[in-house]
Amino acid sequence: MKLGDSSKKKRKKLGPFWIGFFVGPIVICSLFFRQTFELLRDAFANILPIFFTPGLLEITLGLLGFSLVILINYFSRSEQQDEWVYLEEEQPSKGGEFKEEL
């Protein structure tokens, strides 16, 4: 096994870990503590109207779409192994000179 292959496999396995690392405590706190749910509700109630104003909505959706395209491109390029394109070279004729066609 190549050293580069193992690092790619490790990176793919770390995705669910980081999602659980950031989302897990929020879910656990919201399940066990009522005040956490109220805090999250109040925070979203104060922040979301700012993001849904017309100018900021266009900017945030544009940035979200751009980041989504970059993310899809990153993952699709990581799955492809070789991106080189090899072109065939024409060999000169037997006389060693190129013939010009009219």
Rounded distance, CA 76 to CA 82, Å? 12
Q: Is 13 left (phi over 0), alpha (psi -120 to 50) or beta?
A: alpha
pTM of the model: 0.37
Rounded distance, CA 26 to CA 24, Å? 5
Per-residue pLDDT of the chain (102 residues; tens, 9 = 90+): 455 556 666 666 777 888 888 888 888 877 777 787 788 788 888 988 887 788 888 888 899 999 999 999 888 887 776 667 777 887 766 665 655 665
Q: Comparing C-alpha atoms, which of 70, 40, 64 is closest to residue 52?
A: 64
Rounded distance, CA 10 to CA 32, Å? 33
Question: What pLDDT does residue 95 have?
Answer: 60
Residue spans of the domains in the chain: they are: 10-79
